[in-house]
Amino acid sequence: MAAANATGEAHTGPLRLQFDRSVKLAFRGSSISSKGGLLLHRELDDALSLTDTAAGLIADPRIGTNGRHRLASLLRQSIFSRLAGYEDVNDADWLRRDPVMRQLVGGRAVKRGTASASAMGRFETAMPARP
């Protein structure tokens, strides 16, 4: 019988997410993110195409080059920041640099960061007011 790994990590290697195969889920003891569990919610969201479907039903009022972030990305950032316990957009500037939040939002956010507090504020006040 092989000896158990003291860190609890499997010998088969880290798990990978389907929505982004570059993300590795591995046990690292004390270096852990409190938002890491949301990656499983994002995996489910991707499998069911929930936010992509919802974003497809919303008309994007932005014109020209005003759309730095896709509508689905803004919606995902809004949803996952609430799931992480942030009740408004005040923390969006801090969250835009958070590596887990960037993976949750996906797309350009992974490398460039998520939307700013002002962009999220515009999104969250303009979208619910639209017919």
Whether residue 112 lies inside any domain: the answer is: yes
| 121-129 contacts, C-beta under 8 A, 24 or more apart | 121/89, 121/92, 123/74, 123/78, 124/78, 124/89, 126/61, 127/58
The pTM score is 0.71
Contact 67, 112 (CB under 8 A): no
Q: Which domain holds residue 89?
A: 15-24+35-58+69-129
Residue carrying the six token digits 């992974």: 110
Whether residue 74 lies inside any domain: the answer is: yes
pLDDT for 125: 86
Whether residue 5 lies inside any domain: the answer is: no
CA-to-CA distance for 37 and 53, rounded, in angstroms?
23
Whether residue 99 lies inside any domain: the answer is: yes
CA-to-CA distance for 117 and 38, rounded, in angstroms?
21
CA-to-CA distance for 122 and 74, rounded, in angstroms?
10
**Exposed, middle or buried: residue 110 (CB in 10 Å: 0-12, 13-18, 19+)?**
middle
pLDDT for 40: 85
Whether residue 6 lies inside any domain: the answer is: no
Six-digit token string for 26? 């591995």
Averaged over successive runs of 10 residues, the pLDDT of the chain (131 residues) comes to 50 70 64 72 91 87 70 92 89 88 89 91 79 65
CA-to-CA distance for 99 and 35, rounded, in angstroms?
10
Six-digit token string for 19? 């929505």
Q: How many domains does the chain have?
A: 1
CA-to-CA distance for 60 and 127, rounded, in angstroms?
9
